[in-house]
Structure 1
Amino acid sequence: MAAMTLLLIFNLVVVRAHDYGDALSKSILFFEGQRSGKLPSSQRTTWRDDSALRDGFDVGVDLVGGYYDAGDNVKFNFPMAFSTTMLAWGVIEFGKAMGDEDLNHTLEAIRWATDYFLKSSAINNTLYAQVGDPYGDHNCWERPDDMDTLRTSYSVTAQKPGSELAGEMAAALAASSIAFKFYDSSYSTLLLQTASKVFEFGDKYRGSYNDSLGIEVCPFYCDYGGYEDELIWAAGWLLKATKKPYYLNYINKNIHNVQSIDNRGNFAEFGWDTKNAGINVLLSTFQKQIGSSLFVQLADQFICSLLPDSPSKSVSYSPGGMLYKAGVCNMQHVTSISFLLVVYTRYSNNAKRKIQCDGSYISYTRLIRLAKKQVDYMLGSNPMKMSFMVGYGSKFPQKIHHRGSSSPSIHVHPEHISCKEGSMYFNSIQPNMNLLTGAIVGGPDINDKFDDSRANFVQTEPTTYTNAPAVGLLAYFKQRARNQTKGGVIGCNSSRFSCKRIIY
């Protein structure tokens, strides 16, 4: 009996080790700190102010709004669209788990982007890809509120195409239309109509924005994976939103593109650039309609590649247990891959389908635990006992690579700070002046080492595409911690939010 009591106490401690609800609220709040344009009266990140109010004026188009991608002041629409898709996917899967207040704030965060995308796609056969000269911006350390760098508008057209941009933007609009369906039906309809139009443009005029825009997007957000994945990704979201045979036929007709890409090893990749693992997870739910088990097989293969003891492992793990992939901003992989882990586990459970790896079946419990370990690591269960979400826990990064956060608020220092005058704040050894609450930074290296320094942008810069998957992920674990019962948790059906018991 004593042993059983201790076990129950231990389990209780594990469940309550992190406040996922608090982390969820803060992860959503982060997006208010990244807003561009005229800020609303409801703005909660009050050290920010209006910025970039003349975006698009150089081409006679209103392009005010949207998000700054990271610690700079450029609006890169390609990663912004992916961030929006992931926010919407989080609402579709876990909206009910968020609670009314956090759900409303998440829908506001999505709408801040989709309103901007509607402007960016308003002209036929023209899609705006970016606002802001990236070279001028990256040469300055300047608050967005009073920046004076060039706000050049860049677009793709029928003559200079950008299929990856169109595909991801169509996916974002289609996914967002599902997210808004039960809350604002007219807006949902508008988003879906625009998604179809943008997808048709990207598919009809095929080509990479790498070639059309060149050094303006490369090396910042170069598309290294090709645009075929974005077109299939968009078709998948349009199929989910419309159920139209046209998109099912499109997927079947172009399935060979996915096969050829995945044969190069991209089945395990997922992020703002390469969508393959996300495609396979998303389309695994349409196995019967598609008439092929390809996407399920590839999704299983992706899951297998994440298991620490798998011979086909495609990732590394730090001594503290953090999933690691080479490159910049590792936490983007932690959040996006963990999100897919949870979603695919739920999809497989709902379909009563077992996940196979190297000839063996993998338990749902094991996969959920792997995802939870990543979330807990991010929130402070790591060798440094440090949260990598700003404002969460007692110890978190203080000198993040972020212009607005590190500089004095315009409300405190209303005088203009020019391009190079801001360098003193970049070089300061003091903590940032403003708390960018909820920002998830790039995180530690493969050895669990972290250097809290603005100059170390690889580890200390936050991004929208790191935070976006974390929103749905944290909503799931918030619900799981709240409703955990012996042998299972209460899960919610993604289409109508009707709750049912899911056994893990």
Structure 2
Amino acid sequence: MALVLSGINNIKPSLKNGFNCNYRWTLLFIELSAGNYPSNSPVKFRGDSGLQDGNSTGTHDLVGGFYDSGNNIKFSFPTAYTVTLLSWTVIEYHQKYTDIGELDHVKDIIKWGSDYLLKHFVPPNATFAAPILYSQVGSANSDSKNPNDINCWERPEDMTYQRPASTCDITASDLAGEIVAALSAASLVFKDDQAYSKDLVDAAEKLFELATNVDSTKQGTYTTVDACGGEARNFYNSSGYLDELIWGGTWLFFATGNTSYLEDATRRYDDAEKDKIPFDEGIFYWNNKFTANSVLLTRLRFFHDVGYPYEDALLSSSNLTDSVMCSYLSDQNFDKTQDKSLFNCIPYLNIHVNYILGDNPMKMSYMLGFGDHFPTQVHHRSSSIPWDNQHYSCAEGDRWLNSVDPNPNVLLGAMVAGPDQNDSFIDQRDKPKFTEQLFRALLI
């Protein structure tokens, strides 16, 4: 069956002609969104889906957002993390996006996510006496005998089964902090749209106020409460919440200039450092924002005279950032300049990016569409089922799950889970350990 490259021009980039296509294509993968599908999307094998999301609550619209990897479920925690990171890339590399003609594109994706996250926080009102956070839409119960978003192999456009929404209270401190960070960072991206930027900041400030005013003995992680994150525990289990509260407070300070948020972040910093998990040391991903917090707080120390009482905490974060950055460098990774006053750091990340793009023992690109040899049996529902105006039930979808044919639709720009520790890779749809793909905002 012929492969469909998402309606994009047939470009075959290689390691020799730069990474601009990678930026564009990674954004294309994130385009695979939920809800009323954007008419201007270049991805042509998708349509409207999940238009009843939130109806199970009877009161709230939860349409939109992004599906998680190859499944039809929507998790709020990694969605907020992705929106925060994409916003950060625009804040840092605004001109780079402009130069390659992708600024409007990435801003559209961020807004799709921030619009969705605004729906996930319901402050106290006439209907709800207590604030509500939504952590999940859809069911991830793999033991269920009823069709759901994990055990049914079906395009999102064909879903007819029930999709419950998981609710949390304000003690889900990590989820609250991550949503605060996402809304705050996005507000900076859209600062030229004053009304929308204010909506984002207002929601972030209200949520942060509620989340940080909770008795500290009641603060916790969203996955410890079954009704809130019991199912998410198997996918995005959160090991702590202090790093998210610092993350949210720091971004809120950047968005507002209100030093009370910086004070809150720096006050929690030492406690968060004690709460770190050893095997997460120096790693930045959806479960650990400690290193990223250190980078953000260090920038404040270098570029803003925030002064007492924040200097000690900011110095601590600066020292940690130095050690983390230096740990990435070896004698083989940098050379002195002629006057020996500066270091010309050879891009360490290029080694890893080149590995992803084909410079590896398998001679395979793990970014789909890049080069001539990349995975073809990706563990992804809408990619593996033909876009042929036919409705396929869960039972009929198993035909595509178990097929050995290439996916009829290529997830251009997606990066699969990749090889094992021995550099071996199995290109089979029923082996998600190798062929499932996730949001890779850090790759951008």
Could you tell me the TM-score, scaled by structure 1's length?
0.75
Counterpart selection for 1:397 from 375, 382, 395: 375
Counterpart selection for 1:169 from 171, 176, 179: 179
Specify whether residues 456 and 71 from structure 1 end up closer, same or farther in structure 2 by C-alpha distance, changes over 3 A only.
same
Residues 146-295 of structure 1 mapped to structure 2, 5 A cutoff: 146-158=158-170, 161-182=171-192, 184-205=193-214, 206-212=219-225, 213-224=228-239, 226-262=240-276, 264=278, 266-287=280-301, 288-289=305-306, 290-292=310-312, 293-295=315-317
Instruction: State the shift of 1:372 in Å.
Output: 1.8
Kindly indicate whether residue 347 of structure 2 is the aligned counterpart of residue 365 of structure 1.
no
Name the counterpart of 2:42.
Answer: 44
Q: Hey, what's the Cα distance between the residues in 2 that align with 1:362 and 1:230?
A: 38
Specify whether residues 364 and 460 from structure 1 end up closer, same or farther in structure 2 by C-alpha distance, changes over 3 A only.
farther
SS of 1:66's partner is: coil
Residues 48-447 of structure 1 mapped to structure 2, 5 A cutoff: 48-59=46-57, 60-99=59-98, 101-124=101-124, 125-135=131-141, 136-158=148-170, 161-182=171-192, 184-205=193-214, 206-212=219-225, 213-224=228-239, 226-262=240-276, 264=278, 266-287=280-301, 288-289=305-306, 290-292=310-312, 293-307=315-329, 365-366=344-345, 368-409=346-387, 412-414=388-390, 416-447=391-422
Q: Hey, what's the Cα distance between the residues in 2 that align with 1:397 and 1:43?
A: 24
Instruction: State the shift of 1:145 in Å.
Output: 0.6
Q: Hey, what's the Cα distance between the residues in 2 that align with 1:217 and 1:276?
A: 22
Does structure 2 retain, via aligned residues, the 8 Å contact 1:48–1:404? yes
Q: What are the ranges of 5 or more consecutive residues in structure 2 without an aligned counterpart?
A: 1-13, 125-130, 142-147
Q: What value does the CA root-mean-square deviation take over the aligned residues?
A: 2.4
Q: Hey, what's the Cα distance between the residues in 2 that align with 1:460 and 1:363?
A: 42
Q: Hey, what's the Cα distance between the residues in 2 that align with 1:309 and 1:423?
A: 52
Read off the aligned partner of 1:302 and give its amino acid letter: V
Q: Hey, what's the Cα distance between the residues in 1 that align with 2:211 and 2:22?
A: 37
Render the CA deviation track for 1:367-386: whole Å, top value 9, x for unaligned: x5111222222222223332
Q: Hey, what's the Cα distance between the residues in 2 that align with 1:17 and 1:362?
A: 31
SS of 1:190's partner is: helix
Render the CA deviation track for 1:105-157: whole Å, top value 9, x for unaligned: 10011011100111111443111111001123211111111113321011111
Alignment length (residue pairs): 399
Residues 415-494 of structure 1 mapped to structure 2, 5 A cutoff: 416-464=391-439, 466=440, 468-471=441-444
Specify whether residues 422 and 265 from structure 1 end up closer, same or farther in structure 2 by C-alpha distance, changes over 3 A only.
closer
SS of 1:138's partner is: coil
Higher deviation after alignment, 298-307 or 39-48: 298-307
Read off the aligned partner of 1:79 and give its amino acid letter: P
SS of 1:36's partner is: coil
Q: Hey, what's the Cα distance between the residues in 1 that align with 2:377 and 2:265?
A: 45
Render the CA deviation track for 1:69-111: whole Å, top value 9, x for unaligned: 2100000000111011111111011121012631111001101
Instruction: State the shift of 1:264 in Å.
Output: 4.4
Instruction: State the shift of 1:265 in Å.
Output: 5.9
Instruction: State the shift of 1:303 in Å.
Output: 2.3
Q: Hey, what's the Cα distance between the residues in 2 that align with 1:442 and 1:295?
A: 31
Higher deviation after alignment, 46-55 or 278-287: 278-287
Specify whether residues 22 and 153 from structure 1 end up closer, same or farther in structure 2 by C-alpha distance, changes over 3 A only.
same
Name the counterpart of 2:7.
Answer: none
Specify whether residues 424 and 307 from structure 1 end up closer, same or farther in structure 2 by C-alpha distance, changes over 3 A only.
farther
Q: Hey, what's the Cα distance between the residues in 2 that align with 1:179 and 1:446?
A: 38
Q: Hey, what's the Cα distance between the residues in 1 that align with 2:230 and 2:118?
A: 26
SS of 2:163's partner is: coil
Read off the aligned partner of 1:139 and give its amino acid letter: N
Q: Hey, what's the Cα distance between the residues in 2 that align with 1:28 and 1:220?
A: 23
Does structure 2 retain, via aligned residues, the 8 Å contact 1:266–1:276? no
Does structure 1 retain, via aligned residues, the 8 Å contact 2:416–2:438? yes
Read off the aligned partner of 1:148 and give its amino acid letter: T
Q: Hey, what's the Cα distance between the residues in 2 that align with 1:381 and 1:133?
A: 39
Q: Hey, what's the Cα distance between the residues in 1 that align with 2:413 and 2:165?
A: 29
Render the CA deviation track for 1:402-450: whole Å, top value 9, x for unaligned: 01100111xx142x22223211111111100111111111112222221
Q: Hey, what's the Cα distance between the residues in 2 that align with 1:363 and 1:81?
A: 38
Q: If each structure's helix is expressed as a fraction of its own residues, which one has the higher value? A: 1
Q: Hey, what's the Cα distance between the residues in 1 that align with 2:190 and 2:370?
A: 29
SS of 2:348's partner is: helix
Read off the aligned partner of 1:25 and give its amino acid letter: R
Specify whether residues 446 and 50 from structure 1 end up closer, same or farther in structure 2 by C-alpha distance, changes over 3 A only.
same
Instruction: State the shift of 1:216 in Å.
Output: 2.2
Q: Hey, what's the Cα distance between the residues in 2 that align with 1:449 and 1:421?
A: 31
